[in-house]
Amino acid sequence: MRGSFRSRRFGSILKEAEDLAKQGVKEIVLIAQDSSRFGEDLGEVDALAKLIRALGEIEDLEWIRVMYAYPTHISDEFLKAIAEAPKAVKYLDMPLQHGSRNVLKLMKRGGTRESLEKLIRRVRDKVPNITIRTTFITGFPGETEEDFEELMMFVRNCEFDNVGVFTYSDEEGTPAFDLPNKVDAKTAKQRRNRLMKEQAKISKRKNKAKIGMTYKVLFEGLSQESDLLFQGRLEGQAQEIDGYILINDMPENLDPKIGEFYNVRINEAHDYDLIGEII
């Protein structure tokens, strides 16, 4: 359902980022159908790495985040740019979609659980303390219980920081629409719930390890949870799709401004959100 990849011109992106920074924007998010293939159609090699470094030279920007980078094009230069560029957040959104060779083949993605686990180890080796976010689909046509159990094992082995899980739904005109061995909606939903429950345990354990630590947090104003709390994000939390830092205390004389950064000490951890105080 998609056409050929077409990259925006390098200078066009830089100009827009510079203009946004002048307006007070602190975070730039780079996203595409496959961000890791940026520049490929223009004959450029490792263009995304060069773009990250160039954006890092814009004085008023604070964070540069890359979303939706396919696992097949994660180059060492790209990882090096994330690791070395001071303004590049140590965060990678990589849609893996499944962990079973059988289902990945049906999705026309290729790869195996072993090859993907090797990739995750490489990413973490090249960028220490990186936050890895991914997405999975349950109930894809042909997914067996054995395939799903392999996906569960994949999630346990890799311990991703942030995970989104969706159930498959038919879309007429897509190759998957004509595949046999459909998984019924109830089974797909049950598998999604089981996977999310497993990830919640991993996420809570990782969040608990942050208690007592202090992080640079982007302040976003009143919390969506309650008017009695404020909220913000640390660099490992992308807006709207990951958890938040809920702020329940701060110095009496402080009047925090939306879009500014503050040091927040974590005092409590939940499955997806953290609670802390500005210090």
The enclosing domain of 228 has a CATH number of 2.40.50.140
pLDDT number for residue 166:
96
Q: What is the DSSP pairing of strand 230-233 with strand 274-278?
A: unpaired
pLDDT number for residue 1:
54
Distances (CA, A) of 69 to 35, 72, 74, 137: 5, 9, 7, 17
DSSP 97: B
Q: Is the pLDDT of residue 18 over 90?
A: yes
Do both 101 and 75 map to the same domain?
yes
Provide the domain count of the chain: 2
pLDDT number for residue 27:
97
Domain that holds residue 250: 214-278
Do both 109 and 223 map to the same domain?
no
Is residue 135 situated within a structural domain?
Answer: yes
Do both 106 and 132 map to the same domain?
yes
Do both 39 and 126 map to the same domain?
yes
Do both 117 and 242 map to the same domain?
no
Q: Is the pLDDT of residue 44 over 60?
A: yes
Do both 160 and 270 map to the same domain?
no
Mean pLDDT of 68-72: 92
Per-residue confidence band for 11, with pLDDT thresholds at 50, 70 and 90? very high
The pTM assigned to this predicted structure is 0.91
Domain boundary among 185, 208, 231: 208
pLDDT digits (tens, 9 = 90+) for 175-204: 888 888 999 999 999 999 999 999 999 999
Is residue 139 situated within a structural domain?
Answer: yes
Do both 127 and 257 map to the same domain?
no
Mean pLDDT of 241-251: 94
Per-residue confidence band for 2, with pLDDT thresholds at 50, 70 and 90? low
Is residue 3 situated within a structural domain?
Answer: no
User: In the chain, where does DSSP find H-type helix?
Assistant: 10-22, 47-55, 76-84, 101-106, 113-126, 145-158, 185-208
Do both 181 and 53 map to the same domain?
yes
pLDDT number for residue 276:
97
Domain boundary among 151, 183, 208: 208
163: its two tokens? 């995970």
pLDDT number for residue 4:
85
Q: Taking the alpha carbons of 179, 184, 189, 194 in that order, is the dihedral positive or negative?
A: negative
Is residue 168 situated within a structural domain?
Answer: yes
193: its two tokens? 């719930």
Is residue 85 situated within a structural domain?
Answer: yes
Is residue 4 situated within a structural domain?
Answer: no
- pLDDT more than 90, % of the chain: 89
What 3-state DSSP class applies to 220?
strand
pLDDT number for residue 172:
84
Q: 67 forms bridges with which residues in the sheet?
A: 31
Domain boundary among 153, 182, 208: 208
Distances (CA, A) of 252 to 38, 249, 275: 47, 9, 18
Do both 160 and 251 map to the same domain?
no
Do both 89 and 189 map to the same domain?
yes
CATH code assigned at 73: 3.80.30.20
Do both 74 and 194 map to the same domain?
yes
User: In 164-276, where does DSSP find H-type helix?
Assistant: 185-208
